[in-house]
Structure 1
Amino acid sequence: MPPLPVYVVDAFTESAFSGNPAAVVLLDGPREAAWLQSVAAELNLSETAFLEPLPEPSENPAQIGLRWFTPTVEVDLCGHATLASGHILYQLGFTASIEFSSRSGLLGVAQGGDGTIVLDFPSRPPRTAPDIQGLGQALGVEPTWVGRGGDNDVFVEVRDESTLRSLAPDIGGLSTVDARGIIVTALADEACPYDVVTRFFAPRAGINEDPVTGSAHTAVAPYWAQRLERTELLAYQASARGGLLALQVVGDRVLLGGHAVTVVEGTLLA
């Protein structure tokens, strides 16, 4: 097998070693899912993105196949690894808009004038859900609202930013919840430069807590846009690494904007 370029990119941040790291592998043709899963397990980041085929940078718009794998499963949608993929393609010389063909349909990516990467994702607003047994106990706090939205996620609002930041959930308990993951959100404190705060737990996907989760904000954005009667918001994901996401609701789409930094460039040999 010929060597393949592989990168590690910190997404939704302007500083290395913060935001959410994702691997990006540029394929030279189709690969079996089992091989893709093995590579993702070897790289052992929360997500690895695989791109194929790679067209010439002059093609407008470039349409590229995109798949995402955690160390244990393939997923339908991943924001930070998509942003990382767009970042690498623009770094390699692409200038036009990009369309990724994925399990969630066509996803548009563009480069903003301030160096941000802007993702065009489907809006997945949460809907009220019946009580989920054991959820409050596993989180260690009683939610103020519970729904389901995003990519088969449980959506939880808690009282305030302090409550959200102090969460120390029982990961074993959360792993019994029938969902890809658990989105937790709250309004930011008034003095903060951002509007809302979030955290995301996905033990069933092999990720106890994700540093920054773009796909979760396809539910966060429409939820708070309706609540606050605003279409543009700034979200901060309050994980240990942290990350900022610029959100805009446009009809049935959500635009997710953020910066990215390449931290590793190498070659996949196996």
Structure 2
Amino acid sequence: MAKKPVHYVVVDAFTETTFKGNPAAVCFLEEEEEKDVEWLQAVAREFNISMTCFLTRVATSGMDGSSPRFRLRWFTPVTEVDLCGHATLAAAHTLLTSGMVDSDTIEFMTLSGILTAKRVPEMKSSDISKIQGGDVPGIWIELNFPVVPIAEDDDAKRISSVSKVLNGTSIIEIKKTAKDDHFIVIPSAKEVEEFQPQFDEIQRCPGEGIIITGLAQPDSGFDFVSRYFAPKLGLNEDPVCGSAHCALAPYWSEKQGKNELVAYAVISLSLSNGM
């Protein structure tokens, strides 16, 4: 039997500028295709960018007026993950701008449950990411994602490991997320930006990854800044980590007493492609 080609696109999410933001490969599989995990992982390894996702349309009767639904899976170059913000945004952008769906709302069946993406008017701004590329007009997309709870970290060994990774950087709080990431609050946006990660030390830390965050400068137009490091997932530093904001947004919402936040993902000058 002849092998079927896999249609794919590469989208730079969270940016209006080519070669910026966070790249994701969006691969479309036929409904009848059953690809094993080894094949999916091999494709992600071949792309070798921060995330590769796979979409499969779920057959519906079309009689109940429900939104189009797709299975969605995400892979870094080394493993499958259960939540990814920027690749979901990339998938939604591709579907909504390509004519593949006749709807303003899409549902994704994922390891984190049903996630929704919705085309919305431009007047809503602070909680929506605008993505634009090529000759396709820019659109606004709202993602409905789960909250990732954070809690105090009372494990002395974990705290000691994280303190070593921070290498003298002042720490306000050390917490842990339900995704087993370290959640570290440091005093300022400037210190977040200037932090020099030691990836070997981060690799040896217990847990999955490390989120560092701090308040943005008062005149910056942002509420908080962050960076995310996950060498165990094949991502030394993720250029813009959407899923990390499932923990960041509720934390800073409570701290600042705001329901709408504008976040900025600091990009290290030494970061080339997120790997």
Residue 12 of structure 1 corresponds to 14
Choose from 82, 96, 102 the match for 2:104: 96
Q: Does 1:173 pair with 2:201?
A: yes
Query: Whole-Å Cα distance in 1 between the matches of residues 12 and 247 of structure 2?
Result: 22
Q: Contact 1:97–1:109 at 8 Å: present in 2 too?
A: yes
- Deviation, 1:55, is 6.0
Residue 221 of structure 2 corresponds to 193
Residue 261 of structure 1 corresponds to none
Query: Whole-Å Cα distance in 2 between the matches of residues 158 and 217 of structure 1?
Result: 16
Residue 134 of structure 2 corresponds to none
Choose from 169, 182, 204 the match for 1:154: 182
Choose from 153, 160, 165 the match for 1:133: 160
CA deviation profile, 1:80-129 (whole Å, cap 9, x unmatched): 00000000001122333111000000001111222222111111131111
TM-score after normalising by structure 1? 0.85
Spell out structure 1 runs of 4+ moving beyond 4 A. Answer: none
- Deviation, 1:136, is 2.0
Alignment CA distance shift 1:174-1:201 (3 Å): same
Indicate the SS of the match to 1:209.
strand
Larger mean CA deviation between 27-36 and 145-154 belongs to: 145-154
- Deviation, 1:38, is 0.1
Structure 2 alignment gaps of length 5 or more: 123-138, 270-275
- Deviation, 1:150, is 5.3
Q: Which amino acid aligns with 2:105?
A: S
Q: Which amino acid aligns with 1:118?
A: E
Choose from 44, 51, 61 the match for 2:67: 61
Q: Which amino acid aligns with 2:12?
A: D
Residue 253 of structure 1 corresponds to none
CA deviation profile, 1:237-267 (whole Å, cap 9, x unmatched): 00148xxxxxxxxxxxxxxxxxxxxxxxxxx
Residue 44 of structure 2 corresponds to 40
Structural mapping, 1:200-211, within 5 Å: 200-211=228-239
Q: Contact 2:181–2:208 at 8 Å: present in 1 too?
A: yes
Q: Which amino acid aligns with 2:94?
A: I
Query: Whole-Å Cα distance in 1 between the matches of residues 181 and 141 of structure 2?
Result: 25
TM-score after normalising by structure 2? 0.83
Query: Whole-Å Cα distance in 1 between the matches of residues 74 and 36 of structure 2?
Result: 13
Q: Contact 1:60–1:97 at 8 Å: present in 2 too?
A: no
How many residues are paired up?
240
Q: Contact 1:150–1:216 at 8 Å: present in 2 too?
A: no
Higher strand residue share: 1
Residue 235 of structure 1 corresponds to 263
CA deviation profile, 1:157-196 (whole Å, cap 9, x unmatched): 0010111000001110011122221111100011101110
- Deviation, 1:139, is 2.3
Query: Whole-Å Cα distance in 2 between the matches of residues 22 and 2 of structure 1?
Result: 22
Larger Rg: 2
Residue 72 of structure 1 corresponds to 78
Q: Which amino acid aligns with 2:173?
A: W
CA deviation profile, 1:29-63 (whole Å, cap 9, x unmatched): 2210100000000000111000013669x874011
Indicate the SS of the match to 1:218.
helix
Residue 258 of structure 1 corresponds to none
CA RMSD of aligned residues (A): 1.6
Query: Whole-Å Cα distance in 1 between the matches of residues 223 and 194 of structure 2?
Result: 18
